[in-house]
Amino acid sequence: MKRIAVLTSGGDAPGMNAAIRAVVRTGVARGWEVRGVRRGYAGLVGGEIVPLGARDVGGILQLGGTILGSARCPEFRTEEGRRRALRALVGQGIEALVVIGGNGSQAGAYELSRMGFPVVGVASTIDNDLAGSEVTIGVDTALNVALESIDRLKTTASSHGRAFLVEVMGRHCGYLALMAGIAGGAEAVAIPEVETDPEALARELRGAYERGKSHALVVVAEGAQLNATRLAEYFHENEKRLGFELRVTILGHVQRGGAPGAYDRLLATRLGAAAVAALARGENGVLVGWVRGGVTTTPLAEVAGRQKALDPELFELAQVLAR
């Protein structure tokens, strides 16, 4: 192995830069040349590939987002688009590719792998819905951002005796909402994996007040059947019957920004270094993730197109703790 490339794809996640840094510096330490692909698969198709040395990744460990950028690329979903990407890699003498990203990114990595090009994926998404890793780069930081917001809102909710809906990201996975709800002491959680009955939710919130609580707070996943906006509309339309309304706070992309915490910096560093180590020992077509307290590799064929299941016992725990 003489030359490898690294790209980031999909939604940015705090810690991606730490992973890029680890790939570059551990690759250079092995005597390899490292190239960076700008704008994800779009840049790969367009041949936007630049040299990266140890000094090029200095000072990025603490930065949020990704210095390489990311962009949507419908063309890469076509066979011709992927062939253009391969030609760009081969044309620059690149022998392997490290892909840092989530579900869609690793699906793309799998397609390149199927075409015979050595690829190793690195698990990175704040949604934490990627099979092959118990926790992914960016999750811890995003969760802490959500938790800080929840703590602040609870102060206001208690002061005014109000009920709040807090919507967090996560696409079609309720992990962030569920964990933020448990850690933030929410009265209820609404997630895609469990159907939400607004009438039952109203009873839960009313019960919180009857038990002497001075506020009520519900954490809602953006992908829930009834998101925060729809739930608020339902409560507004039925305010006279239900007896109260819900204030809405949508955290949105603020959860993906900002500096990564210590956990994400360390996780990203270890997974990035492990991706280079996998290539060095001739292992490719795999995702590098974190399982049972250590770095593991899982075939991309077992990762692509799959969403990691949420532990139903955690949802039951959230319900018990809310009372």
213 in a known ligand binding site? yes
100 in a known ligand binding site? no
265 in a known ligand binding site? no
> Half-sphere exposure of residue 307, counting CA atoms within 13 Å on the CB side?
13
212 in a known ligand binding site? no
11 in a known ligand binding site? yes
10 in a known ligand binding site? no
169 in a known ligand binding site? yes
17 in a known ligand binding site? no
99 in a known ligand binding site? no
247 in a known ligand binding site? yes
170 in a known ligand binding site? yes
CA distances from 11 to 72, 73, 95, 103, 321 (A): 10, 13, 26, 10, 32
55 in a known ligand binding site? no
27 in a known ligand binding site? no
Question: Quick one: CA dihedral 281, 47, 6, 85, positive or negative?
Answer: negative
Asked if residues 34 and 44 have their Cβ atoms less than 8 Å apart, the reply is no
172 in a known ligand binding site? no
23 in a known ligand binding site? yes
30 in a known ligand binding site? no
Would you please indicate which residues are annotated as catalytic (active-site) residues? 127
List the binding residues for ATP.
11, 72-73, 102-105
List the binding residues for ADP.
21-25, 154, 185-187, 211, 213-215
List the binding residues for Mg(2+).
103
List the binding residues.
11, 21-25, 72-73, 102-105, 125-127, 154, 162, 169-171, 185-187, 211, 213-215, 222, 247, 253-256
List the binding residues for substrate.
125-127, 162, 169-171, 222, 247, 253-256
